[in-house]
Amino acid sequence: MQRTIIEQNMKEKKKKKLKINWVPYLLLAPAFIIILAFLFYPMLTVFYYSFQNYNIAAPFYDSFAGLSNYVRLFTEDNMFLPSLWNSVKWVGTQVSLQLVFGLAVALILNQKFAGRGVIRSLTFLPWAISGVLTSVIWMLIYNEHIGVLNDILMRLGIIDRPAAFLASTGTAFTAVVIAELWRGIPFFAVTLLAALQNIPEELYEAARVDGATRFQQLVSITLPQLKRTIVLTTLLRTVWTFNNVDLIYNLTGGGPANSTMTFSMYIVNTAVNGSNFGYGSAMTVVAVLILTILAAVYLKVSKFEEV
């Protein structure tokens, strides 16, 4: 009798295990379908076209290209390495400067003072403005004839006549860096400020009792506590900055004389403006590989998993 009851219980448990609750999967299905449609499908399409001669301006030459697009990029394209070097400079200056200034702003906003909430909101404002609108703002600031920057510099006696900051190879890159810096600092400021508020106040109180200066507290307490946030934000900002083209496209278009031609800007000029989607797709695949390797090495070197 007992054996029969045990067998029945085992059968009931097996039935319960075999019974699948499909409700969670049905709820996740719309998001999964959207991800497939707008993320994975375009990625696979780009990978496919990277092996094709696909130019909508000359469809009679469309054919299977094999690895010729990649061979051309690495052996024949004289703009590949210069544009890649511009991307290195662009990403390096942007991420490092945004991190330093963003940390400084976060430390200030973490203090108690009158109107702190309003100042915090205003600090985040540049990040909320679209890239196109940011480009328009800085085009007016840099304008040779009506720009406020030229007016200020001439009033201070720094320059004798208006300068075309975006049309000179000596100033265009710096001008674009400053414009993007203005837009990017709030991202680091807000994320680091959130992390600062999670640091226990007891650590600072103990440090002050031991006679630690503000700088010593920054080095010994603040930065170690912020390490995980800094690693994650710098990685995200590196990827975003590498792929960023809206500001450069609107301000200089990669010029003058390719002085602001980053690799991503070069892809846009090749694929979109030049209608050569096959070669542009091959360049995009190479960019993805570069970013993937960079991210893996950065996480390994920074020991992100151990933080």
Half-sphere exposure of 206 (CA within 13 A, CB side): 6
3-state class of 53 per DSSP?
Answer: strand
Cis bond upstream, residue 256 (ω within 30): yes
Q: What is the pLDDT of residue 123?
A: 83
CB contact at 8 A, 272 and 43: no
3-state class of 307 per DSSP?
Answer: coil
Digit-by-digit pLDDT tens for the chain (307 residues) are 545 555 565 655 555 555 667 778 888 888 888 888 888 888 888 889 889 888 887 777 778 888 898 999 999 989 999 999 999 999 999 999 999 999 999 988 888 878 778 888 888 888 888 888 889 999 999 988 888 888 898 988 888 888 888 888 888 999 999 999 999 999 999 999 989 888 888 888 888 888 888 888 888 888 888 888 899 999 999 999 999 888 999 999 888 888 999 999 999 988 888 788 888 899 999 999 999 999 999 888 887 666 5
Q: What is the pLDDT of residue 127?
A: 85
**CATH 1.10.3720.10 holds for 78-306:** yes
CB contact at 8 A, 260 and 173: yes
Q: What is the pLDDT of residue 84?
A: 93
Residue with structure tokens 């000596």? 170
Residue with structure tokens 């050569």? 276
Q: What is the pLDDT of residue 307?
A: 56
Q: DSSP letters of 259-284? A: TT--HHHHHHIIIIIS-BHHHHHHHH
Domain ranges, ordered by start, for the chain: 2-49, 78-306
Q: What is the pLDDT of residue 7?
A: 56
